Amino acid sequence: MSENILEIAGACKFFGGLKAVNGVSFTVARGEMLGIAGPNGSGKSTLFNLITGVPFGPTSGEVRFMGERIDRWPAHRISRAGLVRTFQKDAEFPALSAHDTLLVSATYNGQLSRAQAEARIDNAFRSVDFGQTRRSMPSRELSVYEKKQLMIASALISEPALLMLDEPASGLTKPEIQRLDDLLVAVNRSGVTVLLIEHVLSLLLSVSQRLIVLNQGSVLAAGDPHDVVKNPQVIEAYLGG
Ligand code: ADP
Ligand code: MG
């Protein structure tokens, strides 16, 4: 098996004349938690989009997952292969209970019996430490933090090898960010490789083993998180952006 779970080589995504992602290359080692930072509009979410094929693959470049080229695969095939991402927005089914939201994910994910689905749902809830009595609440009545837990649980339903999270800390208070920190570390330690886009640098510095900074669609700096954030070009990109 390949040591790198994900390999991106020369990935580009252009929207007309706008080079949203422009020649990005990096690898993600099996088992690591890799952070991705960058100013607003630097191409972070577009990078996730082109990796997962939702709603589109790259304009050019190669994406390999567990050694296989996936950049022309349809999105459902990518997620079934074990590469799953979350989005920046809130719960998709505000009227559905937390439990039934996970049931939708379990159903989307393939041919599980009801008993298998329930077992996965229970595992996913336990992985994110979701309160037993909250599971029957409609999603819209959950707290901001509980919605984040549900979003991550929903991604964990398919038992991904690689979990990609797009700004999960947005809208959270400091103590909630600390809880999220613990949660992400626990998920990572359970064997899930994590790719984490985040605005909250303190979280990235706390949980990431390596950090990549994007700026204007390209990799500005990569390496040890504490070194990367001291890089003068990185500081300039943040302050100047
Ligand atoms: P980030 O997530 O780093 O804030 P995005 O990846 O969302 O940045 O956006 C990068 C750039 O690509 C921005 O200039 C954004 O306006 C543009 N962009 C993103 N998605 C689209 C799209 N579907 N069509 C046109 N432009 C887009
Ligand atoms: Mg974004």
pLDDT band for position 131 (50/70/90)? very high
Q: What is the pTM of this model?
A: 0.94
Contact call for residues 102 and 112 (beta carbons, < 8 A): no
- To test the pocket of ligand 1, the residue of 46, 195, 218 to mutate (highest count of ligand atoms within 8 Å of its CB) is 46
Q: Residue 68 in 3-state DSSP?
A: strand
Residue 7 one-letter amino acid: E
Residue with the smallest CA separation from ligand 1 atom 8 is 41
Contact call for residues 71 and 21 (beta carbons, < 8 A): no
ipTM score for this prediction: 0.99
Q: Which atom of ligand 1 is nearest to the CA of 48?
A: 6
Q: H/E element holding 218?
A: strand 218-223
**Domain coordinates in residue numbering, the chain:** 1-82+163-241, 92-159
Q: Which CATH class is domain 1-82+163-241?
A: alpha beta
- To test the pocket of ligand 1, the residue of 12, 14, 18 to mutate (highest count of ligand atoms within 8 Å of its CB) is 18
- Work out the average pLDDT over 219-225: 97
